[in-house]
Structure 1
Amino acid sequence: MPDSNALDSTRFAALQQTPLWDFALTFYSRPGVEQACLTLQDDAGVDVCELLFHGWLYVHGLEALPESLEALRQARRDWQTGVTEVLRGLRRDLKHHDAPSETVTALRERIKQAELLAERENLQRWQTWAWDNEQPTARLRNVPVSSQDAGRWLQESVLLPQDAKMEGCGSKTRQALQHAFSVLGQQLDPLRRAR
């Protein structure tokens, strides 16, 4: 009997036809997704690019093998910390600048564009890893058909490696994070491709 979790070549081919950036733009614009992503980013330190990567895989019926993700996850976090978060910090600092001038407003807008480009580059690197044709079965597998709801699945895919962050949260913050994952799951399910 074949392994139902083994990588399905049809799902992999469909994934290769859908750029992660295109998925990210579509998904991020769905109701409640932007706020849910920002809540997870700001309150739990979740890397939104990784979150979007897992969502992209999920809608294609795929998931990354946890053991194969470790090196990539660290490289992507290093990029986020060293590039994206630096730009985000500058942009946010300028937002609270005393009496912003036209020049400060223009500078803030340019930094915002640079931050978006940094996120796009990060997503491109996640995508390249997933699309690599050399042994995709060593990186990806089918999501089990009987998997729990998408929000819970996403929470386990993204937060389990950093579960300690959830443990330190108060009950109100924990509820907000669980609500954010629930919103994301509700928005992912309609996008999930038919199997």
Structure 2
Amino acid sequence: MAAQFATEAGDGPMDNALWRYALRVYSRSGVEATLLRMQDEHGADILQLLTVLWLSEQGFEVCKESLTDSEYARWKEEMIEPLRQRRRQADRLEHGDLYELLKKAELEAERYGLGILWSKNKDNPADKGRCVASDLMLVCSSEKECKALADFARG
């Protein structure tokens, strides 16, 4: 994800509080590296992790069912993952323009995916008593990484 692709519009499926939160948190020192490590080493879904962090910051209940929604799962499988795979296959030096185009397309697919997750979670009831690290464990099995991510996300 890259902050330079952010827009200034209001809440909607493609530009919403979750998207803006994700851009802000992802740019914090240590967050990107931790999220990518959780994705690559533990199979965690970065968008789900960012959604959990946002829900926790908002004081919303974290519901595993809304994080694993079938619409989101289908979008991830059909759009995000194939674009990520193609981007990783493109040689950054040899195919620089193609690599950057695939990176932008992947980011837009992730933005749409966050829009799906936002729409499924934006009206969750309040739940201020939960622990962010235990909420993150709903979508990633590495307790150490979840605690580190929660600390980085707090700033």
TM-score range, shorter chain: 0.7 to 0.9
Distance 1:130 1:152, change over 3 A: closer
Residue number among 101, 108, 111 corresponding to 2:102 in the alignment: 111
Structure 1: segments with no counterpart, 5+ residues: 1-14, 160-165, 167-176, 191-195
Q: Is the 8 A contact 1:62 1:141 kept in 2?
A: yes
Residue number among 58, 61, 74 corresponding to 1:60 in the alignment: 58
Q: Is the 8 A contact 1:64 1:141 kept in 2?
A: no
Q: Secondary structure at the match of 2:21?
A: helix
What is residue 6 of structure 2 aligned with on the other side? none
What is residue 66 of structure 2 aligned with on the other side? 69
2:80 is equivalent to residue 84 of structure 1? yes
Distance 1:188 1:61, change over 3 A: farther
Instruction: Kindly state the Cα deviation for residue 82 of structure 1 after the two structures are TM-superposed.
Output: 1.2
The alignment-based identity, stated in percent, is 28
What is residue 125 of structure 2 aligned with on the other side? 141
Moved more, 180-189 or 22-31: 180-189
Mapped to 2, the partners of 1:65 and 1:183 lie a distance apart of 21
Q: Is the 8 A contact 2:61 2:127 kept in 1?
A: yes
Mapped to 1, the partners of 2:91 and 2:62 lie a distance apart of 37
Mapped to 1, the partners of 2:24 and 2:39 lie a distance apart of 19
Indicate the RMSD between aligned Cα atoms, in angstroms: 2.5
Which of these two proteins has the greater Rg computed from alpha carbons? 1
Instruction: Kindly state the Cα deviation for residue 51 of structure 1 after the two structures are TM-superposed.
Output: 1.1
Mapped to 2, the partners of 1:95 and 1:182 lie a distance apart of 34
Residue number among 110, 135, 141 corresponding to 1:153 in the alignment: 135
Q: TM-score, normalised by structure 1?
A: 0.64
What is residue 147 of structure 2 aligned with on the other side? 182
Q: Secondary structure at the match of 1:158?
A: coil
Mapped to 2, the partners of 1:73 and 1:95 lie a distance apart of 33
What is residue 46 of structure 1 aligned with on the other side? 44
Distance 1:129 1:153, change over 3 A: closer
Higher percent of residues as helix? 1
Distance 1:31 1:152, change over 3 A: farther
Q: Is the 8 A contact 1:47 1:77 kept in 2?
A: no
Mapped to 2, the partners of 1:22 and 1:183 lie a distance apart of 21
Count the aligned residue pairs. 142
2:103 is equivalent to residue 93 of structure 1? no
Mapped to 2, the partners of 1:107 and 1:57 lie a distance apart of 35
Mapped to 2, the partners of 1:124 and 1:144 lie a distance apart of 23
Mapped to 1, the partners of 2:45 and 2:78 lie a distance apart of 13
